[in-house]
Structure 1
Amino acid sequence: MPFTPAVYARRIGMLASAAALASVAALVSAPTAQAAPPAPISAAAARAYLATVTPKAEGSSSGYSRDLFPHWITQSGACNTREVVLKRDGVNVVQDSACAAVSGSWYSEYDGATWTAASDLDIDHMVPLAEAWRSGASSWTTAKRQQFANDLTRPQLIAVTDNVNQAKGDKDPAAWLPSRTAYRCTYVRMWVNVKQYWGLSIDSAEKTALGNVLSGC
């Protein structure tokens, strides 16, 4: 075929179309942004707050019960707090008519594991309920404890590998930090954010552990 101006124009058009298709393909194959809890305060803000904290020994666990922190409460329609967090923290999450997550993908920030079954995930209370009880929540009303246990506004709830959450238990950062070291700065910023907002006390070992991590953030 003679290389006429018309042929040249057609070839340029074909190249442009191929480039456009390649661009679309790149967008389709690009990794989906990882969903996450609300962003915590900055490391600088966490350090500044921690500097003002006078450590206080933890109170007793006497009288503590998870039932004193009612959860998971209904958030909207058929969806309770756990299901809202699973939807928020997952990718391509599909829920049934009862709001249960039937498919999706979840990346556990604590250990770097990825799960495709909601049953493999726990919703971690960043500041555990028993820790909160010993840090001042024992004097709260049940209504306030309910708000704390279902707090979607602060970085208090996060979907993570179930057995990792169970290993954390009610430990503070002096006794437990995520095995995934890349997340530790975020973790302690979340912890300080929650304790600051809810006016919970911080003990001496806890303050030292938080400060040690924050010093490298």
Structure 2
Amino acid sequence: MIGVIRHLRRTAIFTALSALAGLALTAAPATATPDVGTQASTGQAPSLRELPEPPDATKARELLGDLVVADEDDVPGYSRAKFPHWITQHGTCDTREVTLQRDGQDVVQDDQCRAVSGTWYSEYDGLTIDSASRIDIDHVVPLKEAWRSGASQWTTPERRAFANDLTDSQLIAVSAGSNRAKGDKDPGNWKPPLRSYWCTYSRAWISVKATYQLTANPAETNALSEMLDTCNA
């Protein structure tokens, strides 16, 4: 019965995300003029208000306690191609380009929605970067981590929704170096170098895992609990 309930909840989540994606694809004509960033350049880290706000620490700890804890083996068959991304969100803008616009300051995009100038603050390592080519869009819960904690059982449309989810706190623009150092590691094996970001990162990770009904291994949950402790520091 529990398995059936989880399946129904996950189906409802993906149905809602698919509906939002459909609205995004039809919300603007292909000739729409891309938005131009209007944030003032202050030399400081941009506000996190652009990133979908994860639950607060109290709620995150409650969600952490509700996650199914299980060892995660390498499930055969993984490929990034099984999580199609980046998809068109509106006009000529794909998920990467929308995230670059959302997370940057003074972002200017050309008529193909490519970021030609702007500044990005990488929350993971504290770097300020002025070239989009040096920015990666990180999946907070990596695609391969999702695969081995439940996504191997999803359909391709479900994996597409996960890989392009702008509704939950799953996508963030960070330095290419920090993203590639992280790879497919969970918090038991990698944490953002900036300890000051551990609180937000753990809350975001837990939120995504809970939303998508993904499992967590013991080392992962222990690390997440430790990171949540920094919320009160």
Q: How high is the TM-score relative to the length of structure 2?
A: 0.78
Residue in structure 2 matched with residue 116 of structure 1 by the alignment:
130
Residue in structure 1 matched with residue 116 of structure 2 by the alignment:
102
1:162 equivalent to 2:176? Answer yes
Show the 5 A alignment for 1:40-189. 40-189=54-203
TM-aligned CA deviation for residue 31 of structure 1: 6.1
Residue in structure 2 matched with residue 211 of structure 1 by the alignment:
225
Residue in structure 2 matched with residue 14 of structure 1 by the alignment:
none
TM-aligned CA deviation for residue 87 of structure 1: 0.2
Q: 2:51 and 2:129 mapped to 1: Cα distance?
A: 17
Q: Percent identity?
A: 54
Q: 1:200 and 1:47 mapped to 2: Cα distance?
A: 16
Residue in structure 2 matched with residue 34 of structure 1 by the alignment:
47
Deviation by residue 1:9-63 (Cα, 9 ceiling, x = unmatched): xxxxxxxxxxxxxxxxxxx786674354111111101111222334111132310
Residue identity in the other structure for 1:146: R
Aligned residue pairs, count:
190
Q: 1:72 and 1:65 mapped to 2: Cα distance?
A: 15
Task: Name the CA shift for 1:127/1:29 in 2 (closer, same or farther; >3 Å).
Answer: closer
Residue identity in the other structure for 1:126: V
* Bigger Rg, structure 1 or 2: 1
Task: Name the CA shift for 1:176/1:29 in 2 (closer, same or farther; >3 Å).
Answer: closer
Is the 1:59–1:136 Cα contact (8 Å) retained in structure 2?
A: no
TM-aligned CA deviation for residue 216 of structure 1: 3.0
Q: 2:155 and 2:42 mapped to 1: Cα distance?
A: 47
Unaligned runs of 5+ residues in structure 2 are: 1-39
Unaligned runs of 5+ residues in structure 1 are: 1-27
Q: How high is the TM-score relative to the length of structure 1?
A: 0.84
